[in-house]
Structure 1
Amino acid sequence: MDDYLALCEEEGRKPDVPLKGSFNVRPGRELHRRAMFYAKRRGLNLNTVVSDALRRYLDREDHAA
């Protein structure tokens, strides 16, 4: 942590603020409904479905770049 803070100071920038790990998503009614039924069919909660989908999307993007 000290190294990170020293680097930020050296580069003249503010350290990143830790994220709390949650955010609101507004997918619209139809996508929300589809995601809810998808989760229910698989015995998952909606948060797990959204987190898994976001992870897959970002992993695919990371490999494409």
Structure 2
Amino acid sequence: MASCPEAYSPHATSKALNRYIEDYREFCAERGENPEKPYSGKFLIRIGPELHKNLAIQARKNSTSLNAWVTEALSKAVKDSPLH
């Protein structure tokens, strides 16, 4: 924390972080941009019951959870896409 001497206690750290966040928001506003927001890592999708069933079967066949199986499938799709 040598570069941020005011952040030696949790309260001071929080105060400094809030100041930096506000500076970032002002910077974005000056540029006419929206601040980048972190993603939570969760999203809800709606699929048909048959696809849901088939995904669950595939996950079970691979001895993994549905979440892990879908995460792997999506990761592969992104990796293989021309945008990556």
Structure 2-normalised TM-score?
Answer: 0.59
Partner residue in 1 for 2:68: 48
Identity of aligned residues (%): 30
Counterpart amino acid of residue 51 in structure 2: L
Larger radius of gyration: 2
Structure 1-normalised TM-score?
Answer: 0.74
Aligned pairs, number: 60
Describe the SS at the equivalent of 1:14: coil
Partner residue in 2 for 1:31: 51
* Runs of at least 5 residues in structure 2 that lack an aligned partner in the other structure: 1-19
Partner residue in 2 for 1:12: 32
RMSD between aligned residues: 1.9
Counterpart amino acid of residue 27 in structure 1: I
Deviations 1:15-56 (A, max 9, x none): 111111101121211111011011111110000111111111
**CA distance in structure 2 between the aligned counterparts of 1:54 and 1:46, rounded to whole angstroms:** 12
**CA distance in structure 1 between the aligned counterparts of 2:78 and 2:47, rounded to whole angstroms:** 17
Which has the bigger relative contact order, CA under 8 A and spacing at least 6?
1
Describe the SS at the equivalent of 2:50: helix
